[in-house]
Structure 1
Amino acid sequence: MQATAYTYDPETRSGSVLLDDGTPVPFDAAAFDAGGLRLLRPGQRVRIELDGPGTWAADRRITLITLQTL
């Protein structure tokens, strides 16, 4: 799934992304570290993987965040 980086705190390595419908979804340091990123800037397009019950992305947890490449 694709999203746009919205917030990022380099001290905690956590932040949030905005889904294409505008829904904010937070991510933690484990998801950030799993993607191998070193930095994330607001506005960057990212690819996320979600885990957890439910069909709504906001009810699920981001397990991986990486930069979206063409």
Structure 2
Amino acid sequence: MTSWQLVRIIAGTFILISLALGAPASPWFISEWFLAFTAFVGANILQSGLTKWCLMESIVRKLGLKAGA
């Protein structure tokens, strides 16, 4: 697995969990403030697409995963 694959898995997991915890129609609803975390992850994905730099990818590379193609 490459670093970019793991970053996308982590981002997708964060988004799904925060939607489940923040959407009032969800059976796991806790607070609508979890939707702010969804927006934060989305903003980071947008930023990494525009700048071609992602903090999470830098972190997982330092943990030993090889860079993606």
Band of TM-score, shorter chain: under 0.3
* Larger relative strand fraction: 1
* Larger relative helix fraction: 2
Q: TM-score, normalised by structure 1?
A: 0.24
Q: Relative contact order (alpha carbons < 8 A, sep ≥ 6): 1 or 2 greater?
A: 2
Greater C-alpha Rg: 2
Q: TM-score, normalised by structure 2?
A: 0.24
